[in-house]
Amino acid sequence: MAMNVGFISTRFAGKDGVSLESNKWVDVFESSGLKVYWFAGEIDRDPHRSLLVPKAHFHHPDNRWINERIWGSKVRDPLVTKRIHTLREYLKEKLHHFIEKFDIHLLVVENSLTIPMHVPLGLAISETIAETQIPTIAHHHDFYWERPRFSLNAVNDYLRMAFPPNLPSIKHVVINSAAQEELALRTGVSSIIIPNVLDFENPPAVDLARTLTFKKQIGLSADDIIILQPTRIIQRKGIEHSIELVKKLAHPRYKLLISHDAGDEGVEYAEWLREFACEHDVDLRLVNTCVGDPWTCHINRINQYSLWDIYSYSDFITYPSLAEGFGNALLEAIYFKKPVLVNRYDIFVRDIEPLGFDFVMMDGFLSKKTVQAVKEILERPERRQKMVNSNYEIAKRHYSYAVLRTHLNTIMQNFFGETLKQKTPKKTHVQPLPIDLYIKPSAEAYRHIGKDNCALVS
């Protein structure tokens, strides 16, 4: 099957779930001989296969101006409508150019028809699909009705039109059963469930020397025990529970490390966490720009380390999220055979817990029993080994690349009458590329994207 696949989103860069998950789909497509191309407002992929459009980023000043006037109000000024459609028309021209330039046969739209952080882009994508009838997979990670900040708005007409659109050439993919049911109930749109995955057929290679170097760089000694929270710093991640856990473990060797930054939802929570950790005498390390996407950090001149480097040398993973669309970090912890503390969020209870994983679990609060279970795992290597090996085998059956390939084959058969056949061996994620292949908008085009250096706050 010789085919070009075009991935579309507001950004493909960094460690957010959409960017990470898109790389896994690319692994499966490219191992079957398909070529992948990128369209976004920020891109850290191969520039020879990318169309960078700064105005497609949700933080572009044009889109921020619109967002300031459509959320939190029911009234939309005619000038706002005009600006929305001016930007929509511009982006639609770029999308048509993208399809023509790279001879795209299949589009994969990552969350841009799901979360309305960029309404003009969603409208532009919907119109482009309607005009071209190009086969499209709309990959939905989390819907706008799941986020309170979108509940009061002046763009309900656009939300019904494009988030998501109901068009005959689109196959809708969701990541959990609750989203599938809610999408059908609200819109009448049918979908298939493809959970988040990892390459469990190929265990990760651990570079011990590299992880030791990282540990020294962030100021930790060889005998320090890393408790890792591998999430963005946003309130629904429940990071205060991780701070409370380290406090109750009551040992100076335990250090809490957070691998992601505050993302797109503000820095107030991060500031509060620092104060909360200080009040409880917890050694909290916030590491942001020196930790990159493991698929692309080798082409990013800014990021020096991969997220995989941190997982491999962590001793315990905390995942006390209050709500998740699925739980990428949970799979990553299993992949690296690390024990995990999980808060029983709704999707976990519904879709993941019934599979029989062995985790330390909490139900919204940290009990003495839960803290004792964590201590037992940290202090008993045989218990820890049994737990992580069992979890790996369960995940291999339910969340591997083979599972993703099976689901994609159903879609490809429906679109093209062909299925994906693995033609090339799995590529590694550490093959070096020239350092200048990280591309991003210029400072003039967008001053908010990217960081200047590796920062550590303790």
Task: Measure the CA–CA gap between 35 and 45, rounded to whole angstroms.
Answer: 13
Give the residue-averaged pLDDT of 119-144: 97
Which domains does the chain possess? 4-197+400-427 (3.40.50.2000), 208-398 (3.40.50.2000)
Q: What pLDDT sits at residue 220?
A: 81
Task: Measure the CA–CA gap between 143 and 138, rounded to whole angstroms.
Answer: 12
Ramachandran angles phi, psi of 164, nearest 5°: -100, 165
The model's pTM is 0.82
Q: Which residues contact 164 (CB under 8 A, 6 or more apart)?
A: 113, 114, 138, 140, 170, 172, 183, 187, 189
From residue 140, how far is each of 109, 132, 170, 271 by CA, in Å?
Answer: 8, 21, 12, 31
- pLDDT exceeds cutoff 90 at 446: no
Contact between 341 and 250 under an 8 Å Cβ cutoff? The reply is: no
Q: What pLDDT sits at residue 47?
A: 93
Q: What pLDDT sits at residue 233?
A: 86
Q: What pLDDT sits at residue 125?
A: 98
Task: Measure the CA–CA gap between 14 and 296, rounded to whole angstroms.
Answer: 8
Long-range CB contact pairs, 431-438, < 8 A, 24+: 431/298, 432/298, 433/46, 433/298, 433/299, 434/299, 435/299, 435/301, 436/301, 437/46, 437/47, 437/299, 438/44, 438/296, 438/299, 438/300, 438/301, 438/302
pLDDT digits (tens, 9 = 90+) for 39-92: 999 998 999 999 999 999 999 999 999 999 999 999 999 999 999 999 999 999
Q: How confident is the model at residue 247 (pLDDT cuts 50, 70, 90)?
A: very high
pLDDT digits (tens, 9 = 90+) for 295-305: 555 444 444 56
Q: Which of 430, 413, 171 is nearest to 306 (CA)?
A: 430
Contact between 254 and 221 under an 8 Å Cβ cutoff? The reply is: no
- pLDDT exceeds cutoff 60 at 370: yes
